[in-house]
Amino acid sequence: MPSATKSSTPVSVDEDIIEGRYADLGGYTVGFETFRADADPAPLFRGLPDDRCQCPHWGYVVSGKVIYRYADRDEVYSAGHAYYGAPGHLPLMFAGTELIEFSPTDELNETMAVVARNLAPADG
């Protein structure tokens, strides 16, 4: 059975705002994410249906806080919360937040392809 730990999963994203470590666990991706600064990544989801993340996520907040914003409500999760982020959300991240999050790999890859396209003009 596949497994991963934060210390055994290599860093694949190392930016000013986030350190991310991601491992495939048989069709699901586990992400160990640490946010170094507050972040509102809403513009990165432009081009997805309703310009919102359509990938479901199941997670656990190790420290800090994350807000999942939906068209009709906000859901706030803080340290110690396990959560489900349904499709159609926009995350709002805060410095000092550490998450462990599970996502279906195919849906996550589709979302990240759009995010990468939206990042490209900023990197160029």
**pLDDT band for position 2 (50/70/90)?**
confident
Beta strands (DSSP E) in the chain are 11-14, 18-24, 28-35, 57-63, 65-69, 74-78, 82-85, 90-93, 98-104
Contacts for 115 with CB less than 8 Å, ≥ 6 apart: 41, 44, 45
The pLDDT value recorded for residue 21 is: 96
- The type of residue at 50 is D
The pLDDT value recorded for residue 121 is: 67
- pLDDT, tens only, 17-73: 999 999 999 999 999 999 999 999 999 999 999 999 999 999 999 999 999 999 999
Paired strand residues for 34: 19, 98
Tokens of 53: 């993340």
Helix or strand or coil: residue 43? helix
Paired strand residues for 107: none
pLDDT higher than 60, residue 122: no
- pLDDT, tens only, 72-102: 999 999 999 999 999 999 999 999 999 999 9
Q: Which domains does the chain have, with CATH numbers?
A: 11-40+58-118 (2.60.120.10)
